[in-house]
Amino acid sequence: MEGTLAERLQALAAAEAPAVARFDPGGDLRGGWAVLPSAFNPPTRAHLRLLDLAQGVEGVSGGAALLTTRNVAKGVEGAGLADRIGMLLAARGSRPGLAVLAANQARIVDQAAALREAWPDARFDFVLGYDTLVRLADEQYYDGPMEAELDPFFERHRVIAANRGEVTVAEMGAWVAARAGSWAGRIVTVALDEEHRTMASSEARVLIGAGEASGDVPPEVAAYIRAHGLYEGG
């Protein structure tokens, strides 16, 4: 797929079938990959820390940021999708092995299908914050029985789940034990430290919009934001 970032993203979003594209210079994905699906508006140090933790899980050899062009809970506001990819590519300055991907599907089960179709020689684990893990097991996001889609998903993929906000690792583990049922063995929990678990892209946008620097944003991303005038004026 050739063209500018915006043209490639537009083509991806317009595709009827589930699809995914890679935007960094890497080639085919092989081996075990931890995939973090997010809006990256903007990417924060917490996003990168999540991927660092995930790459410490057995069977994972690489980390990938997956921008979703459609989102089950959010619209497109703030930075445009092309700039979000641009910020992720900038973040590779300190993470040269980071794969930068985008998918045209909102639901994780559909993103997983697109990834398997695009790179059949790779294995994909999904890196989720606690709030996203809860949404994954929420029946409102499924047209039919949730188990009909999540059972095959968990047969092929693990979830690497991290505590976020005020949620502790113990509370997250209790939720997994009480709610995950037969999928519990396919959910690996990792602990985000207090500094990273409270970071939020929304708060970074507010600070930058007010003309202040946000320490939650990696330096390379901050430089991209300044160069492109993103989030100015709130």
In this predicted structure, what is the pLDDT of residue 36?
Answer: 98
- Per-residue pLDDT tens digits for 80-133: 999 999 999 999 999 999 999 999 999 999 999 999 999 999 999 999 999 999
Q: Contact, 38 vs 106, CB < 8 A? A: no
Mean pLDDT of the chain: 93
DSSP 229: T
Q: Is 36 left (phi over 0), alpha (psi -120 to 50) or beta?
A: beta
- Per-residue pLDDT tens digits for 161-179: 999 989 999 999 999 999 9
In a domain, 234, yes or no: no
In a domain, 109, yes or no: yes
Q: How far is CA 110 from the centre of its chain?
A: 14
d(CA 165, CA 192) in angstroms, rounded, equals 10
d(CA 106, CA 230) in angstroms, rounded, equals 24
Q: Is residue 75 scored above 60 in pLDDT?
A: no
In this predicted structure, what is the pLDDT of residue 74?
Answer: 53
Q: Contact, 37 vs 126, CB < 8 A? A: yes
d(CA 163, CA 129) in angstroms, rounded, equals 6
Residue 154's domain comprises 5-228
- Tally of domains in the chain: 1
In a domain, 233, yes or no: no
Q: What is the CATH number of the domain that holds 148?
A: 3.40.50.620
Q: Is residue 140 scored above 80 in pLDDT?
A: yes
Q: Which two tokens stand for residue 193?
A: 């430290």
